[in-house]
Amino acid sequence: MTDLKQQIIAIAKEIGISKIGFTTADNFDYLKKTLTRAQEAGTNSGFEHKNIEERVDPKLLLANAKTIIAIAVAYPNKLPQMPEKSAYKRGKFSPSSWGIDYHDILAGKMSLLAQRISELTDEFDHKAMVDTGALVDTAVARRAGIGFIGKSGLVISKEFGSYMFLGELITNLDIEPDSPVDYGCGDCERCVTFCPTDALNGDTTMNAKRCLSFQTQKTGYIDEEFRIKTKSVLYGCDICQIVCPYNKGINSEPQTSIDPELSYPELQPFIKLTNKEFKEKFGEIAGSWRGKNVLQRNAIFVLANLNDKTAIPLLEEIAANPQNAVHQEAAQWALDKLKRTSQHNRPLKKNRERGKIK
């Protein structure tokens, strides 16, 4: 089916898929040991598909599976335009959450790709997945030649670095598979070295619960170590990507319009949003999936990290309100941190008696 493969590649390019690859629907049994170990040790995020057998065997997801079509959609890591200066300090959503939710973007492109493929061949059967699906997207992408899995655990390509959203179509098509890429990290360990929480193991695996991206999505209380290290970030973490040599000079075109005010929101107004206001304003971005409470908790931490003393009245108001215990505790922590910073920065009084002539 060489002609079919070339036709699918052409369609993918036409509908804005950045990179496409093909691999067999053979199992990924080599992942079992790692997945089981992470599950038993509790070092996975908990967001993953729970059934490990389904994670490693595509035929459990589509009985007549023969070929998996892997796709990547590149996304930008720099805003086309920064927000205007404001009286308020701002927090930051990671680039993966700029614009419309990438799950919707990928789902739309895969649906269109599947529709177009069905027009080319009879009896086309498929199952589409984005990262909430069963298969390990990175393993599929690596085997399909999209890129290699870096020590950061992310798929990296020469064309788009690691700034790629991944998805796959498990299909009943019989298509010649592609080969994995012939490049990799080499001796570079910048992502491992610069990870602020030592979450990366250096062998493509990680302790996901130590990753700042996980911590910004975790509900409830979080440890002080992570509160401080998030710095100005409300959602996600990109340090391992920022320091990666493959990402140097790369900034892909956005797939949708990006509102800089949503990417870098004003912190104090953000904390005051009601549920309705939050959904109306931020509901379409990927970071909104956790809801406003988690993100507003993060925003309280960021106010303290940015030493924003203008926020003290707002923080005092939140700290006095027992209706949201997590926010109350976060606000009290932020107030204590701001006060410690003020005392630390207070200039020493000059000893007026020093050098006095007697």
Name the residues annotated as catalytic.
Answer: 131
- Phi, psi angles (nearest 5°) of residue 92: -135, 135
Tokens found for residue 327 = 């926010």
How many Å apart are CA 149 and CA 131, to the nearest integer? 15
Give yes or no for a contact between 161 and 250, defined as CB atoms under 8 angstroms apart: yes
Q: Which of 172, 182, 204, 166 is nearest to 21 (CA)?
A: 166
210 contact partners, CB below 8 Å, separation of at least 6: 197, 198, 199
How far lies 343's CA from each of 112, 337, 338, 339, 340, in Å? 59, 10, 9, 6, 5
Strand partners, 164: 74
How far lies 229's CA from each of 6, 90, 176, 266, 297, in Å? 47, 16, 46, 20, 15
